[in-house]
Amino acid sequence: MKLTALGVWGGYPTQDAGTTSYLLQSESGFNLLLDAGSRAVTELEKELLPTCLDAVIVSHYHEDHIADLGVLRQYRQLYPLGKNGWDGKLLPIYGHAENAYEFSKLTLEGVSEGRAIDVVHGTKIGPFDVSFQKTVHPVVNYAMRLVEPKTGQVLVYTGDTGYYADLSAFSGGADVLLADVYFLKDKEKMPNHLASHEAGRIAREAKVKHLILTHLSQTVDLEKLQEEAQEAAGNEVKVSLASPHQKWQI
């Protein structure tokens, strides 16, 4: 599978870069959008036509993760039928159903269909088997473990989370851990996001191959964030900072 960062800021977009959104593409050509933060549509357009998306999954309903869902739907609603092969197909948007109001907004008749994730048994989305774990956050957020059975490749995406011990087991053996790392190590056990050394520790305990730091803060020294995470992760784990349009073959 191939992962492309579209937006990597937490909270709000700034200058010419947006908030949390990633494109995950399978070997078979399935295009899944992970979260749809601010600017997701325009950044996605630089990679592929938004009409080519096969599904979207959102970790939770904070604005920096869903800001562009509405305009993504309007893009597909208004795009001329037949142009570039556009057939007007429905867009499945997966999210948790623990907030009935937010979940109901995923559906726009004729354009998109909200689908509740099965947080107990997991959910199959195209070629991906996805399992979930509730994280530490002020609103309900699910970390997701996406497995591509055909290749055995595993991506774990935290969505938003503070530190909790079970995240290591959930991330066990992943090829890539894409983690919300918003704080330097002068903070810890925050109720909303991970600190650098906490993400590094989880990556080391989980024996992941590659830790990618994302959901970045506009006010933090990012070089220091990476150094602190690497120090905690140890030499066995590669640690990278996400940036828009960076791509990783998982």
Interface residues toward Zn ion, by CB under 5 A: 10, 62, 64, 160
Neighbour-count burial of 1, counting CB atoms closer than 10 A to its CB (0-12 exposed, 13-18 middle, 19+ buried): buried
CB of 218 vs Zn ion, minimal distance in Å: 13
Q: Report d(CA 134, CA 66) in Å as an integer.
A: 18
For the record, the structure tokens of 8 come out as: 């990597």
Name which of 64 and 175 has its Cβ closer to Zn ion.
64
CB of 142 vs Zn ion, minimal distance in Å: 12
For 188, phi and psi rounded to 5 degrees?
-155, 165
Name which of 61 and 94 has its Cβ closer to Zn ion.
61
The neighbouring-strand residues paired with 109 are: none
Q: Report d(CA 211, CA 249) in Å as an integer.
A: 14
Q: What is residue 128's three-state secondary structure? A: strand
CB of 189 vs Zn ion, minimal distance in Å: 17
How many Å from the N-terminal Cα to the C-terminal Cα in the chain? 6
CB of 38 vs Zn ion, minimal distance in Å: 11
CA dihedral 198, 199, 205, 208 (to 10 degrees): -170
Name which of 131 and 135 has its Cβ closer to Zn ion.
135
Name which of 35 and 175 has its Cβ closer to Zn ion.
35
CB of 216 vs Zn ion, minimal distance in Å: 11
Name which of 9 and 128 has its Cβ closer to Zn ion.
9
